[in-house]
Structure 1
Amino acid sequence: MAKVFVTVDEIKEESRFIDTRFSLTNADEGLQLYKEGHMNGAVYWDLNRDLSDMTSKEGRHPMPKKEQLQSLFERTGLRYEDIIYIYDQGGMPFAARAWYMLKFAGFPNVYIVNGGFSALAEKFEVTTAQKEYAQTTLTLQWQEQMYAAREDVKNIADGKEQATLLDARAANRYRGEHEPLDPVAGHIPTAKNFDWEQVKKGASLAPTEELLAKVEKDEEVVVYCGSGVTASPLFAVLTEAGYEQLRLYVGSYSDWITAYEVETGENK
């Protein structure tokens, strides 16, 4: 199995920390929390400014361009040999989003801290000082097999490509009974559903028997949600469980509905 999640007891203090705390209902909250106190040496990555390309029309939290990600990694002073620990409030999707971006860029030693900031604060120094790192120059090894574009998903929905679409939203949104964010209710045709919040246990994320029963290890699986954020935890926990044929449709449902029809109800 691939190691994705760590507890605070597994962390070495000389490692790099990335703080990704955020709130989908208050976009300023994460940075404010960081300024009030963070792990010593931690840099802050904002969901909207750093981990999304909000100028793109491909969904509500569009995939950053490769050059945008490279610039983020380099100005943050990251190196491929770094051991990188990412945290959010714990049991949230934001650290998993950053983890996905770093793995997409080929970083080998990247981990999500289960327990989040609170667990770290019990063991490591918390500071308000913001450390500046020297800019690096990286030659990135992009892992294209981790990413699904809209047309890839269309081929799956049309039966031209064999893969399972897995919708990470709440069941009532998936079935089209309730849609608080997008103008059209429903899901991408053929998709199954597994609410990402079912892999939460307090401030931690972990695979569950129910999730592993939903998709087989030898299946090709494409996960999506509303805007690509809450699908990231499903991608991460399936990776932890040893699933290797995984892709994330970052544009997700909010991108799909700009071009294609949806269906409602439930697929078993």
Structure 2
Amino acid sequence: MGVFVEATDVSRDAIFLDARYNLQNKQWGKEQYDAAHIHNARYVDLEQDVSDMTSNRGRHPMPSHAQLQQLFERLGLQLDSEIVIYDQGGAPFASRVYYMLAYAGFTNIAIVNGGFSALVAAGLPINAEAVDVTPTNITLNWQPQLYASRDDVKAIVDGDVQAVLLDAREEARYRGEVEPLDKVAGHIPTARNYFWEQAKEDGKLVVTDALTQTVSKDEPVVVYCGSGVTASPVFTLLKEAGYEDVKVYVGSFSDWIEAYDAAKK
């Protein structure tokens, strides 16, 4: 099964997760969900659910295993549940949730390409009703090969491990010409650059030639961005394109610069 699914092909019996969010207005996604969501969809908040905002390992740090288990049980999921994730379309938030589910070993997950509006256009029922979820008790199947720590990235920078670091931020931030969010400008040494927004097309995310020309399928890839959020769509696009050895450095540049220097060019 591919990572992305068209809204017209979605099973109405799937468990829907609503991941809509706005980094500039943190209440927006939940407000949109409360106003209207796919029938029986459960809301997943970027910061409250799939980030550990009490951690100092980046701006959207990786949750612990215990935090993710608690979340997935609260959402009423089983490892083999058919799970469909949507956001507003052409955004990184459904990919962030997808990554966390894949890391925990869920096997039947997909992202709706085009997001909420595509599902509405496809005729799926929507309402504003509260969803009654029966919590589950699950044994997760962690996939450590999808995750890269700061130490893992340092080993790549030092040449001790052969892999490609792929920076998903816009080119000017990668080159260190501007830095609107972090206290240091530049990129992790040795990293290549592919700006994730190049993959946006009419509210969808698509695999582009620019992405597949930046990294080849025989190269192990570790994707990062500023805080770990926009690295997620590059991860999902590479998996969609059939790349097998792909990790996310969830701490990303905001974590790296707490310990090591940045490069510029």
In which range does the TM-score fall when normalised by the shorter chain?
over 0.9
TM-score (norm 1): 0.98
Secondary structure of 1:6's aligned partner: strand
The answer (yes or no) to whether the contact 1:219–1:245 under 8 Å persists in 2 is yes
Per the alignment, residue 243 of structure 1 pairs with 243
* Residue 133 of structure 2 is aligned to residue 133 of structure 1: yes
Q: Which residue number in structure 1 is paired with residue 206 of structure 2?
A: 206
Q: Is the 8 A contact 2:167 2:194 kept in 1?
A: yes
Please report how far the alpha carbon of residue 133 of structure 1 lies from its aligned counterpart in structure 2 after TM superposition. 1.2
* C-alpha deviation, 1:202, in angstroms: 1.6
Task: Give unmatched runs, 5+ long, in structure 2.
Answer: none
Amino acid corresponding to residue 248 of structure 2 in structure 1: L
SS at match of 2:124: coil
Give distance in 1, aligned partners of 2:9 and 2:25: 32
**How far, CA to CA, are the matches of 1:52 and 1:81 in structure 2?**
23
3-state SS of the aligned residue for 2:222?
A: strand
Map 1:1-268 to 2 at 5 A: 3-122=2-121, 123-265=123-265
Contact kept? 1:17, 1:39, Cα under 8 Å: yes
Q: Deviations over 1:64-114 (max 9, x none)?
A: 001000000001100122111000000000000000000000100000000
- How far apart are residue 131 of structure 1 and its match? 1.1
Give the distance between the partners of 1:11 and 1:29, measured in 2 at CA: 25
- Runs of 4+ aligned structure 1 residues displaced above 6 Å come to none
SS state at 2:148 partner? coil
Task: Give the % identical residues.
Answer: 55
For 1:197 and 1:13, how far apart are their aligned partners in 2? Answer: 30
Q: Is the 8 A contact 1:75 1:133 kept in 2?
A: yes
Cα distance in structure 2, aligned partners of 1:218 and 1:226: 26
| 1:158-192 CA distance string (max 9 Å, x none) | 11110000000000000000000000000000000
CA RMSD, aligned part only? 0.6
1:69 counterpart letter in structure 2: L
Amino acid paired to 1:109: N
TM-score of the superposition, structure 2-length normalised? 0.99
Conserved 8 A contact 2:226-2:253 = yes
Question: Equivalents in 1 of 2:158, 2:258: separation in Å?
Answer: 17
Q: Is the 8 A contact 1:42 1:130 kept in 2?
A: no
Inter-partner Cα distance in structure 2 for 1:86 and 1:227:
21
Contact 2:98–2:110 (Cα < 8 Å) also in 1: yes
What is the deviation of 1:259? 0.4
> Tell me, what secondary structure is at the counterpart of 1:152?
helix
**How many residues are aligned here?**
264
- State the Cα deviation string for residues 23-56 of structure 1 (Å, max 9, x = none): 0001010000000000001000000000100000
Q: Secondary structure at the match of 1:228?
A: coil
Give the Cα separation in 1 of the matches to 2:153 and 2:162: 10
Structure 1 runs not aligned, ≥5 long: none
8 Å CA contact 2:8–2:119 kept in 1: the answer is no
Q: Give 3-state SS (helix, strand or coil) of 2:98's partner.
A: helix
